Chain A
Amino acid sequence: MGEVIVITSGKGGVGKTTTSANLGAGLASLGNRVCLIDADIGLRNLDVVMGLENRIVYDLVDVTGGNCSFRKALIKDKRFENLFLLPAAQTKDKTAVNPDQMRALTEEIKGDFDYVIVDCPAGIEQGFRNAIAGANQAIVVTTPEVSAVRDADRIIGLLEKEDLREPKLVVNRMRYQMVKHGDMMSIDDIIEILAVDLIGVVPEDEQVVVSTNRGEMVVMNDSSRSGQAYRNIVRRIRGEEVPMMNLDDESGFFSKLRRMIGLK
């Protein structure tokens, strides 16, 4: 019986879909059977991020509406044979599915998989309630900005009300150079305020854009720092103890200068 993990954030644009795709691919690359569900009905995107947009025949609403079985609607990933996507409907709206249907669906799917990852839409309305309905774990994604952390706090409160206790936090798009210069909140600042467990920090990385442009996941890129960060989160989800990455990058002007004049 698999785990159902919802990836949520409250605020849009912080990287829920990218995180869902990368954690799904990362878990699949380690041999787990993974099903990703795009719960963002009306604004489907997980298919595009994963490069599977041309292969959609059936969607989530077809399954919950009883038009086809979930197995028939699943799209098999090109790269990992044990990674599947259940895409969202694009032409319906979020009221086309209700939380009871989602609970029943995830209950059925998790029998076939080790991990079911639900990509939640932004907001706190029905789309959010649908996405969390069948979940037994939650990962909250935020970025080091006042607005995103505020929404994360709201979401954590709502998750706890729905009995999804102890959600885990991913801080995305971290820029250590800015923290060092006093221009961005640090991980400690955010954790202190939210009082929640950290499961990973993903540095700001142009490689994420490059990968997404190609419909690939950065977690597959061995040389990228964000890929490494996602691989670490994957291992933590699997229950391994992985120390937090030292992301204090040495690309600043003074460290370059120090290297140049041979001080280090």
Chain B
Amino acid sequence: MLEFINRIFGRENHSSRNVAKERLRLVLVHDRAGVSPELLQTLRIELIQVISNYMEIDENALEVSLDSNESQVALVANIPVKKMKRTMQTETA
């Protein structure tokens, strides 16, 4: 029913067709770049470590992915910040 209402109000972008297209596009960016999920996971963990030195972040909401337009591939990281730290505190210090 909700789907039907969405259609009536023209929320085309949420149609399963567009969802499929977008998911396919992102999967192919990863496939074509030859980046393994393990590599991205490692990158994610190291990003958390480095950034946590400077600010408090929401680790669970952090998203790391590849995206592309026609000519180039970009690494996109969406990192929600909970709190800034006033001084740098490294774990080794």
CB distance from B5 to the nearest CB of A (A): 13
1/0 contact string of B23-53 vs chain A (CB within 8 Å): 1110110011000000000000000000000
Question: B82 within 8 Å of A by Cβ?
Answer: no
B16 within 8 Å of A (CB atoms): yes
Partner of A193, one of B12, B17, B24: B24
Task: Tell which of B7, B12, B31 touches A150, judged by Cβ atoms closer than 8 Å.
Answer: B31
Say how far B17's CB is from chain A's closest CB, in angstroms. Answer: 5
- Verify B7–A146 contact, CB threshold 8 A: no
> Are B24 and A182 interface neighbours, CB within 8 A?
no
Q: Is the CB of A146 within 8 A of B27?
A: yes
Q: Which residues of A are found within 8 Å of B16, using beta-carbon distances?
A: 182-184
Considering only residues 108-167 of chain A, those with a C-beta below 8 Å from chain B are: 145-146, 149-150, 153-154, 157
Q: A146-B24, A189-B21 are in contact. Are A183 and B31 (CB under 8 A)?
A: no
Given A153-B28, A154-B31, A181-B7, A146-B20 contact (CB < 8 Å): yes
A residues near B18, Cβ cutoff 8 Å: 182
Q: Is B65 an interface residue (CB 8 A)?
A: no
**Main secondary structure on A side of the interface with B:** helix
Q: Say whether, besides A146-B20, A189-B21, A193-B21, A182 and B7 are in contact (CB < 8 Å).
A: yes
Q: How far is the CB of A177 from chain B (nearest CB, A)?
A: 12
Among B12, B16, B18, chain A packs the most CB atoms within 10 A around the CB of B16
Main secondary structure of the interface of B (DSSP, over half): helix
Please tell me if the beta carbons of A185 and B20 are within 8 angstroms of each other in the complex.
yes
Q: Chain A nearest CB: distance from B87 CB in Å?
A: 47
- Chain A residues, Cβ within 8 Å of B25: 193
| Residue pair A189, B17 in contact (C-beta under 8 Å) | yes
Interface residues on chain A, size class: 10 to 19
Classify chain B's interface size: 10 to 19
Residue of B nearest to A148 (CB): B24
Query: A146 touching B23 by the CB < 8 A rule?
Result: yes
Task: Identify which of A145, A146, A181, A193 gathers the most chain B CB atoms within 10 Å of its CB.
Answer: A146
From the candidates B12, B23, B32, name the one contacting A153 in the complex (CB within 8 A). Answer: B32
Q: Is B89 an interface residue (CB 8 A)?
A: no
CB-CB under 8 A for A157 and B32, given A146-B23, A182-B17, A182-B18:
yes
In the complex, which of the residues A149, A150, A179 contacts B17, with contact meaning CB atoms closer than 8 Å? A179
Q: How far is the CA of A189 from the CA of B25 in the complex (A)?
A: 10
CA distance A189 to B21 in the complex (A): 7
Q: How far is the CA of A193 from the CA of B20 in the complex (A)?
A: 12
Chain A residues in 8 Å Cβ range of B21: 185, 189, 193
Residues of A within 8 A of B (CB): 145-146, 149-150, 153-154, 157, 179, 181-186, 189, 193
Sorted nearest first, the 4 A-B pairs with minimum C-beta distance are A182-B15, A146-B24, A182-B17, A183-B16
